[in-house]
Structure 1
Amino acid sequence: MVRVPKLTRAEVAQAARNPLLFIAERWTPSPRTVRRAAMSAVVMAVVIVVTGGAVRLTGSGLGCPTWPKCTDESLTATSAMGFHGAIEFGNRMLTYVLCAAVGWAIIAARSAKPWRRSVTRLGWAQFWVVMGNAVLGGIVVLVGLNPYTVAAHFLLSTALLTVAVVTWQRVREGDAEPRPLVGKAVSQLTWLLAVAAGLLIAVGTVVTGAGRHAGDSSDVHRIPLDWKMIAQLHADLAWVVVALTVALWFVLKAVDAPVGPRHRTRDLFLVLMAQGVIGYVQYFTDTPEILVGLHMLGSCLVWFAVVRVMLSLRERPGATAPVPAPAAETPEPAAAG
């Protein structure tokens, strides 16, 4: 049986004033633990998108018709609300799991030795994005699943994934100044790829907002655009992203870039191919719910791969401590004769 040490009154006061510092002074996680904590936030950022998609695709978007309570009288879903209430309330509860994952990442980053303030700040950035998106999710319910707010909700989730991936990358590298691994022209091509991928995802939210999955069985307002036209634009942008990815891979081969950027670009291409297959199949099969859900997961994986390509173009080795100068040698005393 583990004996819990008693805290003095001063220690209790310190823990209340600055709990992160209190934990950091008493716990030093291994680098592996810090990496796992950062990765848990990445995983939950993807999971919350997929489960949010499940809420919409099952028509449970208004399963809890108000916010922050589930109903005007109950904080939680009731049995009378049935399947849709359970799905919507379950997704709300997953927000707490996401907060726990982000909180673990913050605690692990703050407790690591040496303390890296930049990594801790990235963890707090995730926290505030989660809080902002939780409020936006409540607004989505209060305005009856307005498609523009739904699109903003998804894009803010993509922003959370971006910060989570950057945090995961930063805990795996040092704090030295980033050193580019490729030339300026290659970096510019990669930025163009990232912008195109961002437009692809943004247009995808418009396709969703104009499509038939409104998120509820009642009459929900849709974006007044021709769905087939906007879906075609989405497909065209997808081919632009694929073309830029292939071009980037050939350029990286031509300039004999390090293996890291080439492998990350290859991974992006493979994810794009899988996502494209799902996209075309769902289009020609009248967007079945399961394929739409897989396409939302694919959107997260595409953006994850894009961010990894961006981050692979530079390296940040650990800062090396200066080597102390050797101590001056003292002459040996002469032997007494």
Structure 2
Amino acid sequence: MSVVIVVTGAAVRLTSSGLGCPTWPRCTADTLAPTKAMGIHGVIEFGNRMLTYVLCAAVGAAIIAARCARPWRRSLTRLGWAQFWIVMSNAVIGGITVLTGLNPYTVAVHLLSSMALIWVALVMWERSGEGDGAPEPAVSRPLAQLSYLLVAVVGCLVVAGTVVTGAGKHSGDSSEVPRIPLDYDRVSQFHADFAFIAVGLALAMVFVLRAVKAPTAARARARDLLVVLLAQGVVGFVQFFAGSPEILVGAHLLGSALVWIAALRIPLALRVRPQLPDSAYAGTAPAPDTEGTPDTPDTEGSEGSSGLVATA
């Protein structure tokens, strides 16, 4: 659902439905839902808003599953609540985006917040199949640092893509919408430069992991990233020279989410977390939540810029 919400958000912009509901949180000043006079654009924008509730339901199911698991693992519950608060904050950012008339900078922040949600969701997914012991490196420290660098470059690639979007022609609405005042061809080249660096690092990661006989899962994930990056590069180049047709722009945004996931999965395969004995969980079952105060993300063990990757 974290990926789906990125794709449907792209569909809103690419169909010029970004202001289909011209205000927020209601669709109009007088109605919660779009009116017949608002046409298909109102339906598309309102439909994307409703998908937020589906996403919340998925996050809620993850939180409940984590709370009900035995033994109870606080780290998983915290990651679930982290997703919930990211979804809530991104809903507010989406509202600000509408109220500011699709300001390209808030549109960029809206997308990057969705990428943060994908990050936390992936970490929770990975942690659900691991133990709660301290992370133990499966490769040398320089190789782990190379994986962090690769994630950072892919992150810069995604950020550069939002700048290209903000300077491009798909503003999200048929009316006059301000764009980022940068030359589209130049920022596209800047974006492509990061893509070349990412491909080079991914290729290096594939060969290095093979040379040091790293775990099979890590080598497979490095190959996955290289394949997804190359496919994304082909879509990006065709999109640029074809004049950015809507279908290719949408495919490129889907590819961005998949590249981000593929990059994040590599560092997570370069360490192991052993299972703790059942006695370590004794007395840790959660007490009834009478105040409604959610857990917060567990950042214990993070190192510098590695963020949630190191936490995992």
TM-score (norm 2): 0.88
Considering Cα pairs closer than 8 Å and 6+ residues apart, tell me whether 1 or 2 has the greater RCO.
2
Match of 1:81 in 2: 38
Paired with 2:267 and 2:144, the residues of 1 have a C-alpha distance of 8
Distance 2:91 2:26 in 1: 13
Say whether residues 1:270 and 2:208 are aligned partners: no
Partner of 1:217: 174
Which of 240, 246, 249 aligns to 2:197? It is 240
Alignment of 1:187-266 (within 5 A): 187-266=144-223
Letter in 2 for 1:131: M
- Contact kept? 2:71, 2:278, Cα under 8 Å: no
For 2:31 and 2:75, how far apart are their aligned partners in 1? 41
Q: Give the equivalent residue in structure 1 for 2:28.
A: 71
In the TM superposition, what is the alpha-carbon distance from 1:320 to its structure 2 partner?
3.3
1:291 alignment partner, one of 240, 248, 261: 248
CA distance in 1, matches of 2:28, 2:278: 58
Which digits, 9 at most, give the CA deviation of each residue in 1:261-314, with x for residues without a partner? Answer: 101100001111111111011001000000000000000000010111121111
Which residue identity does 1:104 align to in structure 2?
A
- Deviation of the 1:319 alpha carbon: 1.5
Structure 1 residue 317: Cα displacement: 2.1
Counterpart among 104, 125, 135 of residue 168 in structure 1? 125
C-alpha distance in 1 between matches for 2:264 and 2:60:
22
With 249-258 and 116-125 compared, the bigger mean Cα shift is at 249-258
Q: Does 1:315 align with 2:272?
A: yes
Q: For the residues of structure 1 that align with 2:218 and 2:136, how far apart are their CA atoms? A: 14
Question: CA distance change for structure 1 residues 276 and 115 in 2, over 3 Å: closer, same or farther?
Answer: same
1:49-82 deviations in whole A, cap 9, x for unaligned? 0000000000000000000000001001111100
Q: Which residue of 1 aligns with 2:304?
A: none
Match of residue 14 from structure 1: none
Count of residues in Structure 1 that have an aligned counterpart in Structure 2: 279
State the Cα deviation string for residues 63-102 of structure 1 (Å, max 9, x = none).
Answer: 0000000000100111110010000000000000000000
Aligned to 1:118: 75
Equivalent-residue separation in structure 1 for 2:163 and 2:145 (angstroms)? 27
- Cα contact 2:66–2:72 (8 A) shared by 1: yes
- What letter corresponds to residue 72 of structure 2 in structure 1? W
Amino acid of the residue matched to residue 248 of structure 2? L
Counterpart check, 1:301 vs 2:263? no
Distance 2:123 2:92 in 1: 24
2:116 corresponds to: 159
Matching of residue 144 in structure 1 with residue 131 in structure 2: no
Shift of 1:321: 4.8
Q: Are positions 1:184 and 2:141 aligned together?
A: yes
| Structure 1 vs Structure 2 CA RMSD | 0.8
Q: Distance in 1 between matches of 2:277 and 2:71?
A: 13
In 2, Cα distance between equivalents of 1:77 and 1:91: 12
Which ranges of structure 2 fall in alignment gaps of 5 or more residues? 280-312
1:218 is paired with a residue whose SS is: coil
Q: Which amino acid aligns with 1:223?
A: I
**Residues of 2 paired with 1:247 and 1:268: CA distance?**
12
Structure 1 residue 176 displacement after superposition:
1.1
Q: TM-score, normalised by structure 1?
A: 0.82
SS in 2 for 1:103: helix
Q: How does 1:8-157 map to 2 (within 5 A)?
A: 44-157=1-114
Note the C-alpha offset of 1:318.
1.3
Deviations 1:18-62 (A, max 9, x none): xxxxxxxxxxxxxxxxxxxxxxxxxx0000000000000000000
Q: CA deviation at 1:177?
A: 1.1
Runs of 4+ in 1 over 3 A off after TM superposition: none
Percent of counterpart pairs with the same letter?
A: 64
